[in-house]
Structure 1
């Protein structure tokens, strides 16, 4: 079997590696002309995602490049400590969730795929595909085409493959938030290494952690009308955090602010697969970053899809089994993450209610069992 994988983010290379373990050849096609090593700021790889990477033998370099971040402490914009929850649950060997630069995670999984003989072609933006029943042909913007036995979409929340597979599928929905991130090395900005501090500010949400090296890694979520883009984001962000009882405004002033990204997720899709084509990762179930599960869900998908293709009698049965095994879990993650995002964009009245109820909510979440459905989930080849 030959698989064509559309997209070379995190899901594309990990899917190709999982397929290789299952005895299936795969080739990756990336729309952009170059690699994505300079794209994005940083992200969370939860303990369940690290466990899935371990199945592929690709976890060690991720652990080495990341910052262990097993805890999250929540604060109000007035400086009140609201409570604490785990950022993932430790694996049996003690491994905890890690925060890693997106560029590093991308580079690690891409290089791992290349080292295993997987070919990646750049400048291959999908235009259409043709499923004849016996095979599927992908056609690209540069006039080239490629034929394989199956086509796997790993091309993200705004997937072109999804639009071709089901033109009536729900579109990505805007969360009401723009996301920003940055790094600053200044001993003035201190914190306990390994702890995410999450601040529900008066006008926006701010999160940060401190590396052992002394760098402060921060991100911000700003409620904003989609498309309302200023010439310079920094003064807008500084003004949003100026009245909060923490150093968020000062950190942003001293940082180079990463590109603003509007946060989207996906409502449940009626169609995950048709014929020889299947959606995976953000193309099937994009989640907001609020639960820190986007990359982990993509890697879990990769492992499960490869196992289903190896064990099922044909691709149709494999795709159906894949959807049956994954749909309930990922839709629960998307809904959970969207709830958190909605709290970040709360108005003045909702903000007061949120800050009153948050300590009660966090006490319930403090139990490891309350989050085990997300973090204790294991996949296998």
Structure 2
């Protein structure tokens, strides 16, 4: 029986393992963190395409149980005026988008994988891989980890995120993540002063940044802010306290007549900030025994909120390919053919969305008029290619 070594236990790793299991392929997940990553304050959205991909492998239930739905998005100008509202893309055809803390999604997927008997080993940071042919058997892949241990399997799946070690082992000239010129800050608060109507995302175009928020059934308001800023070294990110992030966000939106600054000011220690990156294209996705999924293959800026859904789709599509094409190199080529165009289109779309912050009053007026016009004309259509994507598990891959 084929056995896969999956590097990374975030989102793509457990999903890929569960999809492979359904395809009759065994795997072990190797996670670098000692007990799984936990990002205080950070949250994410799964749109219909991501939820439907989870449903293909019967893994959507635990995610639904840890999330809440939203069906409407409204936009505000920096002046506080409402530019319009409409159904969120995908809510009319398929499940409504679900919001949940990032850590809750990690836990839900890991726990479901464990319930299905999939082994997840923690504290396994990948150092190197090698392929060797032993007498009387087919080539096997050996993975070497920083703690000195090794693992052997038939193939390696790199699900180790935007700063993927697997990607650099696969291609020493692989592009490094591109900083978008923004910092993304996430937080959550139970303050009652600025709760958003149930089932609604409120998006605010500020003079110097972009702010979005939604309120869950328990009264917690989740928010994010995309603010301009140079790339921060890892040490600086680690040392920045919630107070520093709060001050930076409130300062960015202080001159706007929106609730953005007040929501950030009412947030306690549940704040985390990160550099925003993307990778427009990754030339090499695979060789004969190693393949990339999720952010390791196609990191996208957070603006389109599709990173998690793309990773989930990858895992299910890859499992279909390995099910029907037993030679890994052929399966990997089919997977890349089915995925590359779509994910690179999402990366480009998300990067373009970062350009909506306008610097001058004239630019802001033009932007507001354009957004209002689009909101009046659009009912959520135009994104069927994105949120309407579905995976037919039963269809054979050739």
Deviation of 1:65 after TM superposition, in Å, equals: 1.6
Distance 1:41 1:2, change over 3 A: same
Q: Alpha-carbon deviations, 1:309-334, whole Å to 9, x = none?
A: 00014111100000000011111111
Give the alignment partner of residue 350 of structure 2, picking from 321, 326, 337.
Answer: 337
Aligned pair 1:267/2:272, yes or no? no
Structure 2: any 5+ residue segments left out of the alignment?
Answer: 134-138, 394-398
User: What's 2:258 paired with?
Assistant: 246
User: Secondary structure of the residue that 1:274 maps to in structure 2?
Assistant: coil
Q: Alpha-carbon deviations, 1:263-295, whole Å to 9, x = none?
A: 111111111101200010000011112111111
Distance 1:85 1:174, change over 3 A: farther
Aligned pair 1:36/2:37, yes or no? yes
Whether contact under 8 Å (2:204, 2:260) holds in the other structure is no
Could you tell me the TM-score, scaled by structure 1's length? Answer: 0.94
Deviation of 1:214 after TM superposition, in Å, equals: 2.1
Q: Where do residues 1-381 of structure 1 align in structure 2 (5 Å cutoff)? A: 1-38=2-39, 41-90=42-91, 95-132=95-132, 134-227=139-232, 232-256=244-268, 257-344=270-357, 346-348=358-360, 350-363=363-376, 365-368=378-381, 370-381=382-393
For the residues of structure 2 that align with 1:353 and 1:150, how far apart are their CA atoms?
52
User: Secondary structure of the residue that 2:168 maps to in structure 1?
Assistant: helix
For the residues of structure 1 that align with 2:376 and 2:30, how far apart are their CA atoms?
46
For the residues of structure 2 that align with 1:191 and 1:199, how far apart are their CA atoms?
12
Could you tell me the TM-score, scaled by structure 2's length? Answer: 0.90
User: Secondary structure of the residue that 2:354 maps to in structure 1?
Assistant: helix
For the residues of structure 1 that align with 2:168 and 2:101, how far apart are their CA atoms?
30
Deviation of 1:72 after TM superposition, in Å, equals: 1.4
Deviation of 1:363 after TM superposition, in Å, equals: 4.6
For the residues of structure 2 that align with 1:365 and 1:271, how far apart are their CA atoms?
38
For the residues of structure 2 that align with 1:363 and 1:3, how far apart are their CA atoms?
49
Stretch deviating more after TM superposition (222-231 or 198-207): 222-231
Q: CA RMSD in A?
A: 1.8
For the residues of structure 1 that align with 2:377 and 2:160, how far apart are their CA atoms?
36
**Residue correspondences, number:** 378
